[in-house]
Amino acid sequence: IPSLSAGSSRSNTNVFAFCTATPTNYFMVFTKQETFSLLNLLQILDSTGSVLQGATIKKDGSTGAIVVARIMRGGAADRSGLIHEGDELREVNGVPVEHKRPEEIVPILAKSDGAVTFKVIPGSKEELEAEGTKIFVRTLFDYNPREDPAIPCKDAGLEFRRGDVLQIVSQEDDTWWQARRHGDTNLRAGLIPSRQLQERRVALRRPEALFHAAGAPKPSAAGLRRSFRLSRKDIRVQETQIRWRKSQILVSKNFPSYQDVVPYSRKPGEPYRLVLLVGPSGVGVSELKRKLLLSDPERFSVPVPHTTRECRRHERDGVEYHFISKHMFENHILNHKFVEYGEHGGHYYGTSVDSVRTVLAESKVCLLDVEPHAVKTLYTTEFKPYVVLVKPPAMEQLRISRRRARILSGCAHVKPICHFFFQDADFEDMINTAQTMENKYGYLFEKIIVNDDLALAFAEIRAELARLEKETNWIPKTWLSQS
Ligand X SMILES: Nc1ncnc2c1ncn2[C@@H]1O[C@H](COP(=O)(O)OP(=O)(O)OP(=O)(O)O)[C@@H](O)[C@H]1O
Residues of this chain that interact with ligand X (CB under 6 A) are 222, 225-226, 231-232, 279, 281-287, 401-402, 405-406, 408, 451, 454, 457
Taking the least distance from each CB to ligand X, the nearer of 74 and 284 is 284
Q: Which amino acid is at 50?
A: S
Closest contact distance (angstroms) between CB of 392 and ligand X is 9
Closest contact distance (angstroms) between CB of 237 and ligand X is 10
Distance CA 233, CA 225 (A): 3
Taking the least distance from each CB to ligand X, the nearer of 74 and 342 is 342
Closest contact distance (angstroms) between CB of 86 and ligand X is 56
Taking the least distance from each CB to ligand X, the nearer of 53 and 401 is 401
Taking the least distance from each CB to ligand X, the nearer of 301 and 401 is 401
Q: Which residue is nearest to ligand X (CB)?
A: 284
Q: Are strands 176-181 and 135-139 parallel, antiparallel or unpaired?
A: unpaired
Taking the least distance from each CB to ligand X, the nearer of 88 and 426 is 426
Closest contact distance (angstroms) between CB of 223 and ligand X is 7
Distance CA 178, CA 91 (A): 27
Taking the least distance from each CB to ligand X, the nearer of 122 and 284 is 284
Distance CA 476, CA 262 (A): 6
Closest contact distance (angstroms) between CB of 390 and ligand X is 7
Question: Are 34 and 20 spatial neighbours (Cβ–Cβ below 8 Å)?
Answer: no
Helix axes 424-441, 237-249, angle to 10 degrees: 50
Torsion of CA 429, 435, 437, 439, to 10 degrees: -150
Per-residue buried b or exposed e for 34-64, using 16+ beta carbons within 10 Å of the residue's own CB: eeeeeebbbbbbbeeebbbbbbbbebeeeee
If you write DSSP's letter for every residue of 369-421 in order, what string do you get?
A: E--HHHHHHH-STTT--EEEEEE---HHHHHHHTSS-EEEES-GGG--EEEEE
Taking the least distance from each CB to ligand X, the nearer of 123 and 279 is 279
Distance CA 156, CA 298 (A): 49
Closest contact distance (angstroms) between CB of 365 and ligand X is 19
Distance CA 77, CA 86 (A): 13
Closest contact distance (angstroms) between CB of 285 and ligand X is 4
